[in-house]
């Protein structure tokens, strides 16, 4: 009976084509990025409960087998009128299988206190690509990335890297690309 309940729970968690907690997290991202009239997040809707959220837009990628979100490219989804925003990285916690996260060109200047990338490293163990290009982060962003041992590509092009720009050895040993 326990096995049956686990299987039913698994099926219902992803019966609309994607996982319920990830669908809800996508709606929270839409609200956070506040892109009311743009094409990228416009079709993400609470009314699409029965739709496969893996097909909502081309800015996310899902694993074809597990239906987990494995890629998010949100930089171009940012409302350009919103300047000097702070990122709440904990919004990405529900995406446990995330392999690629792109926030390039998104007008962020930093992260909210205690809501930086350090909250993600224990949970996002599969993250291989992180693109933070053309954002206004300073060198302190590097300190918050110390737990991402799975990173292979890390993009920081055209950031305001001031202060310490040392990268923790745990992160840097797996990197194949590190354009600054």
Structural domain total, the chain: 1
Owning domain of residue 143: 2-172
Reading the chain (180 residues) residue by residue, the pLDDT tens digits are 555 444 444 444 445 578 989 988 988 888 787 655 554 555 566 555 556 788 777 678 999 999 999 999 887 666 666 677 888 999 999 999 999 999 888 878 878 888 888 888 888 999 999 998 888 776 667 777 778 888 899 888 877 666 555 554 444 445 565 555
Give residue 29's pLDDT: 85
- CB under 8 Å to 51, separation ≥6 — which residues? 16, 17
CATH at 96: 3.80.10.10
Contact 69, 60 (CB under 8 A): yes
Q: Does residue 120 lie within any of the structural domains? A: yes
Q: Does residue 177 lie within any of the structural domains? A: no
**Which region holds residue 178: left if phi is over 0, alpha if psi is between -120 and 50, else beta?**
beta
């Amino acid at each position: 009976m326990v096995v049956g309940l686990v299987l039913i729970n698994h099926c219902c968690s992803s019966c609309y084509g994607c996982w319920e907690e990830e669908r809800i997290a996508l709606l929270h991202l839409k609200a956070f990025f506040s892109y009311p009239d743009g094409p990228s997040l416009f079709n993400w809707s609470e009314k699409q409960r029965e739709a496969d959220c893996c097909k909502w837009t081309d800015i996310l990628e899902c694993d074809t087998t597990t239906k987990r979100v494995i890629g998010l490219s949100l930089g171009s989804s940012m409302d350009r009128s919103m300047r000097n925003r702070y990122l709440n990285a904990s919004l990405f916690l529900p995406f446990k299988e995330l392999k690629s996260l792109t926030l390039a060109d998104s007008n962020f200047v930093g992260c909210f206190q205690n809501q930086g990338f350090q909250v993600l490293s224990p949970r996002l163990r599969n993250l291989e690509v992180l693109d933070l290009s053309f954002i206004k982060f300073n060198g302190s962003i590097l300190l918050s990335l110390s737990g991402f041992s799975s990173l292979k590509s890390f993009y920081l092009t055209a950031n305001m890297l001031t202060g310490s720009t040392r990268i923790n050895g745990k992160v840097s040993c797996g990197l194949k690309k590190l354009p600054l």
